[in-house]
Amino acid sequence: MASRQRLAVLVALIMAVAACTESAAPPQPTAPPDAFAPTPTIGPSTTTRPAPTTTLDVDRVVLQRVDPVSLKLMTAFEPIPMGDALWGSFASPDGRYLVATVDAHGSGVPEMRLVDLQSWMPVASWPESGDFMFHINQQGSVFYVTYGATAEFRFAATDSTESTLIASLPANYGVWGAESVTEARFLLYGTRPGEPGSGRQEQGFVATIQLDEAGPVLAEIPMPGVVIGQVDPVSQGPWAGYLYTSPSFTWDPVGARLLVVHGDDDVISEVDIETGEVIEHPVAGTFDLQSGTRRLSALNPDGRLLYVASRSVELIEDDDDWMVITRPAGVQAIDTTTWQIVARTDEPISNIWVSPSGALLGSGYTTDESESVSVQESTGLYLLDGSNLSVRVHYPPETPEQWWGPVTFTDSGSIAYASTWVQTPRVNAIEMATGEFLSTAEGTETLEMIGPVGVLASTR
């Protein structure tokens, strides 16, 4: 009963906010402060919230303010304890709040913790795992997906130590991503079991959740053409598990549309979130898709260009042995109005990160695998021009096993923070205009730079 009452209050609050937003004249946009803006002052919180539910004095992982260029610690800010491990960190669009799931004191029990970065204080915690956190509103309340018997879409408010169930998702939904379309409408996408009789174990799904006075309404947009999983026909050999196709999903907030790059075909599905209409756009490709292709995509800041990175799969077999080889297949830039390829690079890149300034960082790795061989080799890190995908700088790997990612950026995109591992974890601050390595931070276990808010999470 309490959960239903809280959900009713949530829906009423969101409807009131939406109504006020629609009726009022749109305010002038104000950009969040960049990492180079003056350091926020330390002061008491201006709101009253319940104290966090845990003791924070024995945690090994901490949040620390750092200089955005040198990555040196700002000693005026005391470290904020964040458990013995941290993952899934997510910052609010205005840069005020940061939430993450932590391992509470090495107990293996997950806990969500919320920090007010303006007052530099922990302000709330909830004894559960935020497996996929994707939105924080102006009050610091968190919207997220968590997995139990089924996936659940939940809401955690700062005035309570318990979260509220918004909607239980259909069985076996695997959520790859989620977006806040409006304060009352949300988008989810990922995988689910294939339709009976389709011959597929998995397929893609796109769904919306609308909050209104009658409660949440979940509506799925059919995506029968999005293939996920082993290629067809399924090989019966020991290599079968290596031969699969994986699409990518990219949200376009400017156009209120979801762009789905198919893995088994050179097609992009454009999904109108308002109408549910799906339009398929053929885009010419240049490599074989028969053994499986894995995609990764991202938009430039104005939504005009969709960057698609691919990984190709090749099967080599004879009477005595077999080998599955994956290779980075480069990056294409696709105009999202004409659906023509306007730029491409065949450099060995399969992962990309787009900065708010429009430049790209990319990385890749190759694999050779058989029953007796497993070899992986990095191709390094690349700085690409966003307009023509030309390589401005290539950073060769220090060792064959040096992987890159995640990568975050300052709010303006002038500096990238690229994580890597060479014997120990590192974060490199890279000037995007020149490609210069400005500084490097090293750690032991946890080391993550949350670039837009200038905060470093590390094991002390």
Supply the pLDDT for residue 23: 38
Q: Which residue has the higher pLDDT, 191 or 49?
A: 191
Supply the pLDDT for residue 335: 97
Residue 329: phi and psi, rounded to 5, are -105, 15
Q: Which of 97, 100, 99, 121 is nearest to 41 (CA)?
A: 121
pLDDT at 101 over 50: yes
Supply the pLDDT for residue 233: 67
pLDDT digits (tens, 9 = 90+) for 436-446: 999 999 998 89
Q: Which of 65, 57, 56 is nearest to 98 (CA)?
A: 65
Supply the pLDDT for residue 362: 98
pLDDT digits (tens, 9 = 90+) for 229-241: 888 766 777 888 8
DSSP bridge partners of 446: none
pLDDT at 48 over 50: no
Supply the pLDDT for residue 37: 33
pLDDT at 18 over 60: no
Predicted TM-score (pTM) of the model is: 0.87
pLDDT at 17 over 60: no
pLDDT digits (tens, 9 = 90+) for 370-397: 988 899 999 999 999 999 999 999 999 9
pLDDT at 288 over 80: no
Query: Average per-residue pLDDT in the chain?
Result: 86
Q: In whole angstroms, what separates CA 372 from the centre of its chain?
A: 34
Q: Could you give the CA distance from residue 150 to residue 278 in angstroms, rounded to a whole number?
A: 27
Question: Sorting pLDDT into bands at 50, 70 and 90, what band is 292?
Answer: confident
Share of the chain above pLDDT 70, in %: 86
Q: Which residue has the higher pLDDT, 7 or 362?
A: 362
Supply the pLDDT for residue 100: 95
DSSP bridge partners of 133: 144
Question: Sorting pLDDT into bands at 50, 70 and 90, what band is 53?
Answer: very low
End-to-end CA distance of the chain: 43
Share of the chain above pLDDT 90, in %: 66
pLDDT at 12 over 70: no
DSSP secondary structure of 263-314: SSSSEEEEEETTT--EEEEE----S--TT-EEEEEEE-TTSSEEEEEEEEEE
Contacts (Cβ under 8 Å, ≥6 apart) of 251: 177, 179, 187, 258, 259
Q: What is the mean pLDDT of residues 398-421?
A: 96
Q: What is the mean pLDDT of residues 59-70?
A: 95
pLDDT digits (tens, 9 = 90+) for 108-154: 889 999 999 999 999 999 998 989 999 999 899 999 999 887 889 99
